[in-house]
Structures are given as C-alpha cells and as structure tokens.
Amino acid sequence: MTEPTLNFAIGCAPSSSSPSWRRAFVQDCVACHGADGLGTGPLAAGLDPQPADLRRIGARHGGNVPRDAVMSAINGDASDPHRPMPHFHVEPLGDLGLVENANGTTTPTPERLLALANFLESIQQ
Ligand code: HEC
C-alpha cells in the first residue's frame, strides 16, 4: 500500500529516529482528519459532527494545546460513546513511557499517544 503524502511542515516534529508518530497518524487519523489535518479526509463528508481541524486546536483553546484533553480525545477516555471518532485505547497505542506532569508526578502514557500529541503540537498554526 502506498502511504498518503503528508502535507505538514515537519520542522519541529519529534525525533526522526522514531517515526511512530507519523505512521500512527497516517494509519489512524488521515481518513477523517485529512493529510493536512484540516478535517477534510475521505471519510469526513458523512460525519456529524465533522472532524476537528487539528492545526487549530491551540487557537481554539486560547493559544495553548491542552495536552491532557488532546490525549483524552485520542484515547477516548473523556468522550461521548456516540461520537464518530474511534477510541484508540491504551493497548494499540504502544508501550507505556512515563510522562512528567506539571506538578512533578509522573503518569504512565502510551508512547504512540504521546508521539501523536507531540506531533499535533508541532502542526499548530
Ligand atoms: C472516523 C473518523 C476519525 C478518525 C479515524 C479520527 N478522528 Fe479525530 N475526530 C473525529 C471527529 C468527528 C472529531 C470531532 C468530534 C469529537 O471530538 O469527537 C474529532 C476530534 C479530534 C480531536 C479533538 C480536537 C479538539 O480541538 O478538541 C483530536 C485531538 C483528534 N480528533 C485527533 C485524532 C487523532 C490523533 C486521530 C488518529 C489517531 C484521529 N483523531 C482519528 C473523527 C475522527
């Protein structure tokens, strides 16, 4: 299968030695959110609500990407069971790594989930 081309400027993407963020995005997200992240992928037309524009998450939240909310949206924790976006629970999202929180505690977080969150932060406009 040919991978769709990604149209992102990847200037500050996470380490290129670990391309899992890119594979994960292409495999799991492009169908709805589109290769440019604007929310106009091939499956988007039939969805209600429409997929979010992933380049403007920060803009919609006062300039900062709320990382916890983004990871919950992907993981499916905090979401409505009827929403069109699938729940990408912990298991398919990869091995757990420890992420340090603002208050100094750590949370076990799947590496792919973290990579996706970093990736989304890197494409904000
Ligand atoms: C079947 C279609 C579909 C797929 C596949 C999909 N999404 Fe979504 N996504 C949506 C829809 C629809 C919304 C808006 C409604 C909602 O939040 O559930 C959304 C919302 C989001 C949000 C919330 C944005 C915000 O501003 O609150 C994030 C983050 C997100 N998607 C990331 C992803 C990532 C990362 C992937 C791949 C791992 C992915 N999505 C795969 C349909 C999809």
Q: What is the pLDDT of residues 52-109, one digit of tens each?
A: 999 999 999 999 898 888 988 888 866 576 788 888 776 666 788 888 877 888 888 8
pTM over 0.85: no
Residue 117 CB less than 6 A away from ligand 1: no
Q: Is residue 4 part of a domain?
A: no
Token pair recorded at residue 22: 């890119």
Q: Is residue 56 part of a domain?
A: yes
Predicted confidence at residue 16, as pLDDT, reads 43
Q: Is residue 108 part of a domain?
A: yes
Domain range enclosing 49 = 20-122
Q: Is residue 77 part of a domain?
A: yes
Q: State the DSSP H helix or E strand holding residue 116, giving kind and residue range, or none if neither.
A: helix 111-122
* Closest residue to atom 40 of ligand 1, CA basis: 29
Predicted confidence at residue 54, as pLDDT, reads 95
Q: How confident is residue 20, by pLDDT bands cut at 50, 70 and 90? A: low
Q: Is residue 38 part of a domain?
A: yes
Q: Is residue 14 part of a domain?
A: no
Cα of 53 to ligand 1 centre, how many Å? 9
The CATH number linked to 30 is 1.10.760
Q: How confident is residue 4, by pLDDT bands cut at 50, 70 and 90? A: very low
Q: How many domains does the chain have?
A: 1
When pLDDT is averaged across residues 27-32 and rounded to a whole number, the result is 89
Q: Is residue 33 part of a domain?
A: yes
